[in-house]
């Protein structure tokens, strides 16, 4: 993909905080993070044109049931909020283990595969497509498919002009590629008809698009609109949160994990946590045979003791 794809670097998702974290050292980042500032740096192009070191990140919240946390009532606010034991140290350790930013998601994640020099509505559309392709697909495969699409010309109009067979050839072998051809065509037609070729700007509208679920919608909001609407919880985030005890009780589905996590995790970390845990899940806390022996959380992870 060298030369054709110009992936923006997703670095320093919580500016000024990553450097504070070190293994074996308790951190006092909560207050600094909970104000919503520095909630995410989405990356920078090599040319520095985009993408986007944010001094302040907009945070939007969905209504209850639609994801995200709405303002708590005064009675709720008085209750001591549950939070997992040792979570700050566990997070600090993960940040330390992720400091090299050398996981597949750091180089080829869905937020890295768009053309940062394209017009805004075009690169936003490419963000949406890369996330649609990434479901059930390794980052390497998604990145390669995005490169082929971009070489062909990846805009709303070019996709609408393409027949299904040609689109299938370009995205194969992403997971469920035949179904994704249908979703991409249907979604692209809706974008053309209802959004002037751009993408919707709310989670509620995004999840109405064929093939777009809550996890994807929150990541689109974060990457494409620089608005933190909720935590993007994929299988890595879901698995690791349950292993670390970051959910009050065990959760069965990523969507349950998202709601459980949003109930206590400071909002300033919502943007970073997906990127952080996905890479950690790719390199250390693997789905099968996690590398507990080398994990800095070995001594404070409930799951490690069983292994």
Distance CA 299, CA 229 (A): 33
**Least distance in angstroms from the C-beta of 111 to ligand SF4:** 24
Nearer to ligand SF4 by Cβ, of 174 and 241: the residue is 241
Nearer to ligand SF4 by Cβ, of 229 and 297: the residue is 297
Region near ligand SF4 per CB under 6 A, out of 99-107, 153-161, 249-257, 283-291: 283-291
SS3 of the chain: helix, strand, coil, percent, to 5: 50, 5, 45
Q: Write out the two tokens for 186.
A: 């249907």
Nearer to ligand SF4 by Cβ, of 220 and 292: the residue is 292
What H or E segment, with its residue span, contains residue 297? none
**Least distance in angstroms from the C-beta of 58 to ligand SF4:** 31
Q: Which of residues 224-263 bind ligand SF4 (CB under 6 A)?
A: 243-244
Half-sphere exposure in the Cβ direction for 65 (13 Å, CA) = 0
Q: Smallest Cα–Cα separation from 285: which of 248, 237, 247?
A: 237
44 three-state secondary structure: strand
Instruction: Assign 3-class secondary structure to 161-189.
Output: HCCHHHHHHHHCCCCCHHHHHHHHHHHHH
**Is 215 considered catalytic here?**
yes
Q: Which of residues 288-307 bind ligand SF4 (CB under 6 A)?
A: 290-292, 295, 297-298, 301, 303-304
**Least distance in angstroms from the C-beta of 274 to ligand SF4:** 16
Instruction: Give the one residue of 285, 287, 288, 289 binding ligand SF4; rule: CB under 6 A.
Output: 285
What H or E segment, with its residue span, contains residue 124? helix 120-134
Interface with ligand SF4 includes 284 (CB under 6 A)? yes
Q: Site mask, ligand SF4, residues 155-194, x = CB under 6 A?
A: ----------------------------------------
Nearer to ligand SF4 by Cβ, of 165 and 293: the residue is 293
**Least distance in angstroms from the C-beta of 247 to ligand SF4:** 14
Question: In this structure, what is the dihedral angle of CA atoms 160, 224, 120, 4, given to the nearest 10 degrees?
Answer: -70
* Whether 218 contacts 67, CB under 8 Å: yes
* Whether 228 contacts 271, CB under 8 Å: yes
Interface with ligand SF4 includes 145 (CB under 6 A)? no
Q: Which positions are annotated as active-site residues?
A: 215
Per CB under 6 A, residues contacting ligand SF4 are 243-244, 284-285, 290-292, 295, 297-298, 301, 303-304
């Amino acid at each position: 993909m060298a030369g054709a794809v110009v992936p923006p670097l997703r670095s320093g998702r919580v500016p000024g905080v990553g450097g504070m974290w070190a293994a074996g050292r308790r951190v006092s980042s909560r207050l600094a993070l909970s104000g919503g500032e520095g909630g995410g740096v989405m990356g920078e192009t090599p040319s520095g044109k985009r993408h986007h070191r944010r001094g302040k990140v907009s945070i939007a919240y969905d209504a209850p049931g639609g994801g995200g946390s709405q303002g708590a009532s005064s009675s709720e606010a008085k209750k001591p909020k549950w939070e997992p034991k040792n979570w700050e140290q566990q997070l600090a350790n993960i940040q330390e283990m992720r400091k090299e930013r050398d996981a597949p998601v750091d180089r080829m994640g869905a937020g890295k595969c768009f053309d940062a020099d394209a017009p805004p509505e075009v690169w936003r559309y490419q963000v949406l497509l890369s996330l649609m392709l990434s479901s059930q697909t390794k980052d390497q495969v998604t990145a390669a498919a995005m490169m082929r699409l971009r070489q062909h010309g990846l805009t709303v109009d070019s996709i609408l002009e393409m027949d299904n067979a040609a689109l299938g050839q370009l995205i194969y072998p992403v997971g469920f590629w035949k179904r994704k051809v249908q979703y991409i065509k249907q979604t692209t037609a809706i974008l053309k008809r209802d959004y002037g070729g751009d993408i919707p700007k709310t989670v509620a509208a995004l999840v109405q698009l064929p093939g777009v679920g809550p996890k994807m919608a929150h990541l689109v909001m974060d990457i494409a609109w620089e608005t933190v609407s909720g935590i993007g919880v994929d299988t890595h985030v879901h698995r690791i949160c349950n292993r670390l005890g970051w959910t009050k009780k065990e959760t069965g589905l990523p969507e349950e994990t998202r709601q459980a996590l949003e109930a206590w995790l400071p909002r300033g970390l919502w943007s970073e946590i997906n990127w952080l845990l996905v890479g950690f899940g790719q390199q250390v806390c693997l789905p099968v045979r996690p590398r507990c022996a080398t994990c800095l959380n070995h001594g404070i992870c409930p799951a490690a003791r069983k292994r």
